[in-house]
């Protein structure tokens, strides 16, 4: 099934000039970029995006980090895109991420792990709508 998923290139990766390399890996994995932009979230906007994690001990640190610098947000499309992009990202903790994955290559630690990807069709729809207007997604 053709799906769309939300990708974020997080502040640690933007800061280290990894946008191009990460987008190259995404395109190389046969995922199509259907929307793309750069922005700098404020703390409230980061908290809104990660609302599902608001009870977690790492919520404050995570939302500080996600609002600490510019990010790139993108909509990716392809067959089974949600699962395939999560496989390409690798495990949340880079120590557990398989070789060849984005997080294995670029993540700094379990928080500053370079990329985000939606984890289900329902969340993909919500997350895409958080960042993109209907008219902005091809």
Half-sphere exposure of 110 (CA within 13 A, CB side): 6
Q: Identify the residue whose tokens are 């947000």.
A: 73
Half-sphere exposure of 136 (CA within 13 A, CB side): 13
40 a catalytic residue: no
Per CB under 6 A, 111 contacts ligand IDP? yes
Rounded to 5°, angle at Cα 72 from 68 and 74 = 145
Which residue out of 116, 117, 118, 128 is catalytically annotated? Answer: 116
Q: Which of 40, 51, 58, 96 touches ligand IDP by CB under 6 A?
A: 58
Q: What are the helix (H) ranges across 16-57?
A: 19-28, 43-49
The 87-126 contact track toward Mg ion, x by CB under 5 A, reads: --------------------------------x-------
Per CB under 6 A, 116 contacts ligand IDP? yes
Per CB under 6 A, 62 contacts ligand IDP? yes
For the annotated catalytic residues, the residue numbers are: 116
């Amino acid at each position: 099934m053709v799906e769309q998923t939300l990708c974020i290139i997080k502040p640690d990766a933007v800061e280290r000039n990894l946008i191009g390399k990460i987008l190259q890996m995404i395109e190389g994995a046969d995922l199509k970029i259907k929307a793309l932009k750069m922005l700098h979230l404020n703390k409230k906007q980061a908290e809104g995006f990660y609302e599902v994690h608001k009870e977690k001990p790492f919520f404050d640190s995570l939302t500080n980090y996600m609002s600490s610098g510019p990010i790139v947000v993108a909509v990716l499309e392809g067959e089974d895109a949600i699962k395939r992009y999560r496989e390409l990202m690798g495990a949340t903790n880079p120590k557990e991420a398989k070789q060849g994955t984005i997080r294995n290559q670029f993540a700094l630690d379990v928080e500053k792990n370079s990329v985000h990807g939606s984890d289900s069709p329902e969340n993909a729809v919500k997350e895409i709508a958080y960042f993109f207007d209907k008219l902005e997604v091809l």
